[in-house]
Structure 1
């Protein structure tokens, strides 16, 4: 679920938030880093559970409508296609998923049910829903495609839900694009006979990704002075006050990665920090960061200090 770019962003945020002073005692910062990364999974579960609650809200809606004193024929015998959606049923009946939600106390929608209503009502008013209910029966593929469209067109871009997520956890805003992408991939790939663990993906692709996060954090934090000196040598014509703090942090992380991660190609490192700077810093930051990192890489190459293993890693 978590990609390397998002890991870099998480490391940057923690280093920036805590000031990143050089010290051997970084346990508090590292604990916060891992908590922040783990909390991304909670956001994933929160959005998955929202779809389950929307299905329950639909059941409740049909039941209440059928019991109205002056219920119409349509209300007495409603189209149950949405309530019986096989993909939503798969999520609702997934015992492993339910156990995970309970163990992490993901029960937000019990207290904040108005957001379930907001999403449910938007679904009812959508053309996606109207088209889906033109027939009374469907197969798994149609059910799946409908939920994919609902998530992509209604849930993911919902502004009120966005505000709710921002209020709950500040770091979740940065996590949201990664989580939404992961959910869409899982929804599109799910099959009728998929394992119950299909919707319980691993947070890290492998143990190397978690080790990358911890090592990048530690190496950058423990070598602040040396990294600052490297940057200073290449910015003699720059007033230090004019360099954005976020740019300095990205440069330190980029230099650290070039120096301490032999298996990561320098081009990958530079491109990753350029892309992060475009999202988190000033319009000119990417040009500045590219110039400094490019100069340092060429200098390390000329002095034989670029320790890269494997072909094509320079």
Structure 2
């Protein structure tokens, strides 16, 4: 999830925010960088938690049993396609998701309007129509759940705009998060259970690398600023 490229980006983003300001404190900058690096896992959990939160939203806001008219078989099936989705239920049962849900850094229930718009996007998709034409079973549940997550990260404008608004680092974290989701899917395909991916192979080394980049900048700060002044006149 966290790689060297992402670490460099986060350091440069922090330095860009500090550039030109007087009385900047390197210790504060470093603290912000480390907080941002460690926050990638929470952002991944926010995305992974969308499935269970979508299920909860549909169950509480669009339950066909609560309609004034008699629900059709398609109404009931489309409801079960997500609320009774075996893969989404297994995601919800992950210890990491249960702990995250107690104190979410991103609360989907506060974004019901966006969740509803994404739900409508899903229902208009070809993948939804295909899923509705198939039997509801574990294999087809998994295929549709994969589509939901990939749609979020690759196609949903509503989701993209919301994440960019909530997380200024979203553009750079998006691909690592997508790759982590693919690891989740692969573990489920191969083992029949969800393996939560590691945020980092070595968190201590990642944080040390970030600190070294920052220190290297501080050591050559005057030279760097002179170069910037020369090559960016005015």
TM-score calculated relative to the size of structure 2? 0.82
**Cα deviations by residue, 1:137-170 (Å, 9 ceiling, x for unpaired):** 3234x33232222222345431122222222232
Which residue in 1 is equivalent to 2:221? 224
Alignment of 1:1-314 (within 5 A): 1-19=1-19, 25-60=25-60, 63=63, 65-74=64-73, 78=77, 80-103=80-103, 105-140=104-139, 142-191=140-189, 193-194=192-193, 198-199=195-196, 201-206=197-202, 207-225=204-222, 240-242=230-232
Q: CA deviation at 1:127?
A: 1.0
Deviations 1:250-304 (A, max 9, x none): xxxxxxxxxxxxxxxxxxxxxxxxxxxxxxxxxxxxxxxxxxxxxxxxxxxxxxx
Tell me how many residue pairs correspond in the alignment. Answer: 231
Paired with 1:92 and 1:75, the residues of 2 have a C-alpha distance of: 25
Q: Which whole-Å CA distance do the structure 2 matches of 1:126 and 1:190 have between them? A: 24
1:2-40 CA-partner distances (Å, limit 9, x unpaired):
111111111111112111889995101101111222232
**What SS is found at the alignment partner of 1:133?**
helix
Distance 1:53 1:166 in 2: 19
Question: Residue by residue, what CA displacement relative to the aligned partner does 1:59-114 show, whole Å, maximum 9, x if unpaired?
Answer: 34663x234343144268536343322210101122332113324x3352122111
2:101 is paired with a residue whose SS is helix
Deviations 1:191-218 (CA, angstroms, capped at 9, x unpaired): 46435xx23x332221322221221122
**What SS is found at the alignment partner of 2:201?**
coil
Root-mean-square deviation (Å): 3.1
Q: Is the Cα contact below 8 Å between 1:23 and 1:221 reproduced in 2? A: no
Select the structure that is richer in helix.
2
Give the secondary structure class of the aligned counterpart of 2:49: helix
Task: List alignment gaps of at least 5 residues for structure 2.
Answer: none
Greater Rg, structure 1 or structure 2? 1
Greater length-normalized contact order (CA 8 Å, ≥ 6 residues apart): 2
Give the Cα separation in 1 of the matches to 2:31 and 2:4.
19
Could you say which residue in structure 2 is the equivalent of 1:293? none
* Whole-angstrom CA distance in 2 between matches of 1:177 and 1:194: 23
Contact 1:22 1:224 in 2 (8 A): no
